[in-house]
């Protein structure tokens, strides 16, 4: 791989074997940091000069672009926050002063419109030109799919919607660019229909959320389909954290060995895509396209391996500025050690959504920790719900789970008690209320799993 000053907008190396591998993926760390510093200062100047939203933020915090000389200066920048974006778009619709070019100019070139998923509030609105969409976003997705092992001639079954949510469109256009066939299985198809089509078309890969990959397994029995016989080579999951127990469950059910790939991205900076390589030892960041840092609560940079919030800056986002120094709300850690695959890019581990974490009696509770315990118990189903009681003198946690469909009712109480003991051990002795509901009462999720309930849902105890 030759080392030049090739930018992220140039064509990738084309030696016939690594069509979508670019030199920054293998560059020395100092080269990567130098490239990022150059792009960060350029991006700070761009948003300051062209986006009214950011001009106000810079001036309010007494920051100027000239103060940013290296990636270590990024914490001095104002933050991009979802709630502030929403407020700005309410006050100054449709884009809240976040565009870096006139809307009419972008539309004249042919625009690409998308929105956030809306799972954490009112969807945000975004716009970029077709040129930026293909030059940066689609190319980034090609690099991601290549790293996950997709090659020309493969077929990928995609359960993402083709709607205002952008990821499905990016997959379609990247696949077309790579000569990969897409089997579109997004809404409004039923789970049963999707299972039948997977069995009929036998794609090489499946793309969905971790929870929905297991939901399809549950629905396959009714369609007389064996997921392990569908012939998948790999499963690519995104939209939720991926605990190791869930990864193992997906791999075993679909018989893909260790080929379950964790894919990370977000709507605010569509080209900020990341995925695991074949070694599954962290999610590789495309560092020529975005700066990914982990910050402590006080805004200082976390050390390697230290848990904190991911803060990212899109380095090639030119038409809209929502990806500038953006607080993702995702909790994770990073390493800069070279990977066994040879790539030198930063790798990240996503632990949970920050707003998914609840502090109960001084203990930080993540749904993924409970998911690991539930999936490790063969006498339980995959679904569960969490109830955080805050209306009592001492707040508490109730976990609702389902027994396995073939479990004898006489085993319900012992299984409940075992789950309670395991959860208590997982949370350092904190007592957890557990109840089992009838099998099938907890519906699965067709999109991102929402485990928390603020008050008792309507359910019937199975005990």
Boundaries of every domain in the chain = 358-453
Residue 237 near residue 250 (C-beta atoms within 8 A): yes
Q: Which of 22, 29, 18 is nearest to 3 (CA)?
A: 22
pLDDT at 7: 45
Distance CA 250, CA 205 (A): 13
Contacts 24+ apart (CB under 8 A), 5-11: 7/288, 8/136, 8/139, 8/288, 8/289, 8/315, 8/316, 9/135, 9/136, 9/316
Contacting residues for 408 by C-beta, under 8 A, at least 6 apart: none
User: What pLDDT is recorded for position 163?
Assistant: 86
What per-residue confidence (pLDDT) applies to 69? Answer: 94
Helix/strand/coil percent split, the chain, to 5 = 35, 20, 45
SS3 string of 13-54? CCCCCCCCCCHHHHCCHHHHHHHHHHHHHHHHHHHHHHCHHH
* Assigned token pair, 160: 């993402």
* Predicted local distance difference test score (pLDDT) of residue 14: 40
DSSP 124: P
Q: How many Cβ atoms are within 10 Å of 247's Cβ, its own excluded?
A: 20
Q: Which of 329, 310, 312, 239 is nearest to 269 (CA)?
A: 312
Contacts of 277 (CB under 8 A, 6+ apart): 147, 284, 339, 341, 343
What is the predicted pLDDT for the residue at 241? Answer: 80
**Tokens in use for 333?**
């850690």
Work out the angle at residue 370's Cα, subtended by the Cα atoms of residues 391 and 239, and round it to the nearest 5 degrees: 100
Strand 234-237 relative to strand 260-264, pairing: parallel
Nearest to 282 by CA among 240, 343, 232, 206: 343
Q: Rounded to whole angstroms, what are the CA distances from 21 to 27, 116, 399? A: 12, 28, 45
Q: Are 70 and 44 in contact (CB under 8 A)?
A: no
Angle between helices 210-220 and 244-254 (to 10 degrees): 40
Q: Which of 164, 115, 170, 126 is nearest to 144 (CA)?
A: 170
Contact 107, 303 (CB under 8 A): no
Angle between helices 412-426 and 367-375 (to 10 degrees): 140
d(CA 329, CA 77): 17
CA distance 339 to 341: 5
- Per-residue pLDDT of the chain in tens (463 residues, 90 and over written 9): 333 334 444 444 444 345 788 899 999 999 999 999 999 999 999 999 999 999 999 999 999 999 999 999 999 999 999 999 999 999 999 999 999 999 999 999 999 999 987 655 688 999 999 999 999 999 999 999 999 999 999 999 999 888 888 888 999 999 999 999 999 998 888 899 999 999 999 999 999 988 889 889 988 988 999 999 999 999 999 988 888 888 999 999 999 999 999 999 888 987 788 999 999 999 999 999 999 999 999 999 999 999 999 999 999 999 999 999 999 989 999 999 999 999 999 999 998 776 667 777 777 787 878 888 888 898 998 888 888 877 655 678 889 999 998 899 999 999 999 999 999 888 877 888 898 988 888 876 665 667 777 666 666 677 7
End-to-end CA, the chain: 62
Q: Report how far residue 271's alpha carbon sits from residue 117's, in angstroms, rounded to the nearest whole number.
A: 16
Which class in CATH covers the domain with range 358-453? alpha beta
Question: In 3D, which of 123, 121, 160, 127 has the Cα closest to residue 141?
Answer: 160
Diameter of the chain measured on Cα atoms: 70
For residue 16, the model assigns a pLDDT of 39
Q: Which residue in 249, 218, 221 sits closest to 235, CA to CA? A: 249
pTM of the model: 0.78
Give residue 393's pLDDT. Answer: 56
């Amino acid at each position: 791989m030759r080392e030049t000053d090739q930018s992220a907008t140039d064509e990738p190396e084309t030696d016939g074997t690594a069509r979508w591998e670019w030199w920054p993926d293998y560059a020395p760390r100092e080269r990567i940091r130098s490239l990022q510093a150059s792009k960060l200062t350029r991006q700070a100047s761009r948003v300051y000069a062209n986006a009214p939203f950011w001009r106000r933020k810079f001036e309010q915090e007494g920051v100027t672009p000239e103060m940013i000389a290296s990636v270590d200066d990024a914490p001095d920048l104002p933050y991009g926050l979802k709630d502030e974006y929403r407020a700005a778009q309410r006050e100054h619709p449709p884009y809240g002063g976040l565009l870096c070019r006139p809307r009419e100019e972008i539309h004249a070139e042919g625009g690409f419109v998308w929105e956030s998923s809306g799972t954490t509030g009112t969807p945000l609105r975004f716009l970029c030109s077709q040129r930026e969409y293909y030059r940066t976003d689609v190319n980034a997705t090609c690099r991601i799919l290549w790293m996950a092992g997709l090659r020309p001639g493969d077929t990928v079954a995609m359960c993402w919607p083709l709607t205002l949510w952008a990821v499905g469109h990016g997959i379609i256009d990247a696949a077309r660019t790579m000569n990969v066939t897409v089997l579109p299985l997004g809404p409004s198809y039923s789970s049963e229909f999707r299972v039948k089509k997977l069995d009929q078309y036998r794609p090489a890969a499946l793309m969905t959320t971790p929870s929905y990959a297991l939901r399809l397994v549950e629905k396959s029995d009714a369609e007389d389909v064996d997921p392990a016989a569908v012939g998948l080579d790999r499963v690519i999951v995104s939209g939720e954290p991926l605990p190791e127990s869930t990864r193992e469950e997906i791999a075993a059910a679909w018989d893909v060995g260790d080929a379950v790939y964790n894919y990370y991205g977000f709507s605010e900076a569509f080209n900020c895509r990341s995925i695991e390589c074949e070694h599954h030892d962290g999610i590789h960041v495309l560092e020529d396209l975005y700066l990914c840092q982990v910050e402590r609560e006080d805004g200082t940079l976390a050390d390697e391996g230290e848990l904190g919030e991911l803060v990212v800056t899109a380095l090639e986002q030119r038409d809209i500025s929502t990806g500038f120094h953006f607080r993702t709300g995702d909790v994770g850690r990073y390493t800069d050690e070279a990977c066994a695959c040879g790539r030198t890019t930063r790798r990240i581990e996503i632990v949970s959504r920050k707003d998914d974490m609840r502090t109960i009696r001084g203990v930080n509770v993540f749904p993924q920790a409970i998911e690991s315990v539930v999936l490790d118990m063969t006498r339980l189903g995959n679904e569960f719900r969490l109830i955080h009681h805050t209306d009592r003198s001492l707040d508490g946690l109730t976990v609702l789970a389902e027994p396995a469909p073939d479990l004898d009712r006489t085993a319900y109480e012992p299984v409940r008690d075992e789950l309670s003991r395991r959860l208590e051990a997982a949370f350092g002795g904190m007592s957890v209320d557990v109840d089992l509901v009838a099998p099938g009462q907890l519906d699965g999720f067709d999109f991102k799993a929402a485990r928390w309930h603020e008050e008792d849902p309507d359910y019937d105890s199975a005990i």
